[in-house]
């Protein structure tokens, strides 16, 4: 049995069609799993943030607003 629950999934299209992101709830809190070409490139823990914040991060990734591994 997995210790995480998938809350939502986001998929890119056109120029970002190779990207998808999954918002998950783990025992530590929320996280966003970022994928490129079906391979996870980053798991971003957002344990102290709301579900809306995590969903925005996932959406920003699949739209190309945010890249994996690059934080500002």
> Domain boundaries in the chain?
4-63
Tell me which residue of 68, 34, 28, 66 sits closest to 48, measured CA to CA.
28
40: its two tokens: 């996870």
At residue 9, the pLDDT reads 98
Q: What is the pTM of this model?
A: 0.90
Q: Are 22 and 30 in contact (CB under 8 A)?
A: no
pLDDT (tens digit per residue) in 27-36: 999 999 999 9
């Amino acid at each position: 049995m997995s210790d995480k629950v998938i809350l939502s999934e986001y998929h890119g299209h056109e120029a970002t069609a190779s990207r998808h992101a999954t918002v998950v709830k783990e025992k530590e809190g929320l996280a966003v799993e970022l994928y490129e070409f079906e391979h996870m490139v980053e798991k971003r823990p957002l344990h102290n943030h709301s579900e809306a914040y995590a969903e925005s991060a996932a959406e920003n990734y699949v739209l190309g607003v945010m890249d994996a591994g690059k934080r500002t």
